[in-house]
Amino acid sequence: MHPRIEQFLSQHSDISRRYFLGLGAAGSLAWGKLSLGAEEPAAKADRDPRLEEAIANLESFLTPESEFRDVSRGRPVPHSLPEEKKSEVGLTRDTWKLEVVSDPDHPTRMKSPLTTAEGTALDFAGLMKIAERNAVRFAKVMTCLNIGCPLGTGIWEGVPLRDVLWLAQPTSDLRRIFYHGYHNDDPKQLFRSSLPVGRVLEDPFDLPPVILCYKLNGEWLSSERGGPVRVVVPEAYGFKSIKWLQRITLSNLWYANDTYGEKNNDVDSDLKSFAATLHVPDSVQPDEPFAVTGYAQVGISGVSKVQVWLDDESQPLPEGDKYFTTAPWTDAEILSPPNEWGGGLADGKLRLPIHQFDSESGEPRQWPMRLAKIHWATLLPGRPAGKYTLRCRTLDEKGIAQPMPRPFRKSGHAAIEQVAVSIG
């Protein structure tokens, strides 16, 4: 083993043994970049030009602000209000106020609630004071549980929600925290989410903290993304990340009370891993190899492989195998961390520290990076004329293939994608 790889491994015990043993072309690329700083990854030179071109056309890792997709409720949606109205209702950095109060129905004992009535609510300057000593950043893909496809990937910056919670000095009877944002002062438009207190106070395993977020990709959080301040829950689907945050309620309630639960959604479900295509050529010549690219959402169980399968539609599907586990899947190349992160960062540079990155090297500590969206590519061998179905899937870090281990739709999208490919 290269001595520097050995040193790297001994310093990074969180990188799994299985991943190391499974070094394929993509794996060694990632290592090359992570540990040796190789300028031109070896496999790159061997790539077919068709594959190289498809990779060159891929979207960037971070999503530019203008390309984020919006999932906002409200009539009108709060970010569409005129500026004067935003000032009036606290939707600007100058006028923003956050209350932290006890739930009247299931009270939490607390010494210093933060309320507007008593002039103790937290304002933006107060939030920035906390940020001076305790700002955190992490990379995360925002995904709507209902829509399924990612809305955008960003570096989200904020202060841990627990820092603000402690300002209110809760002493007992605290089991759940729920929170909501501006909703046109109409109770029918209330969109609330919630977390068990433990998740707010402590970060399990290597997760970043739940934050009160005020910046995205280095810029102030826009009104459309929920600014001036939104909650961002690293491992959760979008509905936990409440926008235009105005009130946090500390409660002795012991179960979830999220608005999103009303439509049969599983509100305790964390991000799943899944793969999807981005580029599949419109028309393919018979017996000509062709390039396919895509992305994978790296959920809480990670991603160890992305696989594809081009199925000839004239052949019968295997019986009794609804997840196609016996199909002849082949491995796609998981692309290594990019040199350019995109997303319109100032000087194109990541501002460290970022939770999933090594602060010294500036490289991701784990790849594929959990909670993010990564990219893959593959060159499929030529096939005779005919109609085909292209499928892709992830295997998580335990080797469990999509849509398992959590196949239910109302817990988030993980169904195996299929795309029609016509050859000839």
Residues that bind Mo ion (CB under 5 A): 71, 144, 238-239
Helix or strand (DSSP H, E) at 295: strand 290-297
Helix, coil or strand: residue 293: strand
- Structure tokens belonging to residue 308: 């594809």
What's the token pair of residue 407?
A: 């196949």
Please give the C-alpha separations between residue 161 and each of 32, 90, 195, 225, 273, in angstroms, as whole numbers.
Answer: 37, 19, 11, 18, 26
Q: Which residue has the tokens 């992570």?
A: 34
Choose, by CB under 6 A, the member of 6, 53, 70, 118 that binds ligand MTE: 70
Q: Does 73 bind ligand MTE (CB under 6 A)?
A: yes
Q: Name residues contacting ligand MTE, limited to 186-225 (CB under 6 A).
A: 191, 225
Nearby residues of 412 by Cβ (< 8 Å), 6 or more positions away: 143, 145, 148, 237, 266, 269, 271, 272, 406
The DSSP bridge partners found for residue 98 are: 122
- Say whether residue 142 binds ligand MTE (CB under 6 A): yes
**Which residue number, 230 or 365, has a Cβ lying nearer to Mo ion?**
230
Whether 22 contacts 399, CB under 8 Å:
no
Torsion of CA 17, 22, 25, 31, to 10 degrees: 0
| Minimal distance, residue 99 CB to ligand MTE, in Å | 15
Coil, helix or strand for 406? coil
Stretch that binds ligand MTE, among 238-246, 285-293, 390-398, 399-407 (CB under 6 A): 238-246
Query: Binding pattern to ligand MTE, positions 241-280, x when CB under 6 A?
Result: xxxx------------------------------------
The pattern of x and - marking residues 150 through 169 that bind ligand MTE according to CB under 6 A reads: -x------------------
**Which among Mo ion, ligand MTE, none contacts residue 312 (Cβ within 5 to 8 A by kind)?**
none
Residue whose CB is less far from ligand MTE, 148 or 208 = 148
Question: Shortest Cβ contact with ligand MTE: which residue?
Answer: 238
Locate the DSSP E strands across 87-149. 97-102, 109-110, 122-123, 136-143
CB-based burial label for 370 (10 Å; 0-12, 13-18, 19+): buried
Tell whether residue 335 is a contact of ligand MTE (CB under 6 A).
no
Of residues 156 and 357, the one with the C-beta less far from ligand MTE: 156
Contact 301, 205 (CB under 8 A): no
* Residue that has been written with the tokens 């599983």 in this structure: 266
244 binds, options Mo ion, ligand MTE, none, Cβ within 5 to 8 A by partner type: ligand MTE
Which among 234-242, 320-328, 346-354, 413-421 is the span making contact with ligand MTE, rule CB under 6 A? Answer: 234-242
Binding part of the chain for ligand MTE, among 40-48, 65-73, 91-99, 394-402 by CB under 6 A, reads 65-73
Helix or strand or coil: residue 279?
A: strand
Whole-angstrom distance, CA of residue 152 vs CA of residue 63: 5
**Nearer to ligand MTE by C-beta: 73 or 398?**
73
341 binds, among Mo ion, ligand MTE, none (CB under 5 to 8 A by kind): none
**Residue 274 interacts with which of ligand MTE, Mo ion, none, CB < 5 to 8 Å by class:** none
- Residue pair 335/377 in contact (Cβ under 8 Å)? The answer is yes
> What is the smallest separation between the CB atom of 195 and Mo ion, expressed in angstroms?
16
Q: Which of 31, 179, 214, 239 binds ligand MTE (CB under 6 A)?
A: 239
Measured from the CB of residue 73, what is the shortest distance to ligand MTE in angstroms? 3
Distance CA 265, CA 258 (A): 10
Among 31, 33, 63, 68, binds ligand MTE (CB under 6 A): 68
- The residues that touch ligand MTE, with contacts defined as CB under 6 A, are 68-73, 142, 144, 151, 181, 191, 225-226, 238-239, 241-244
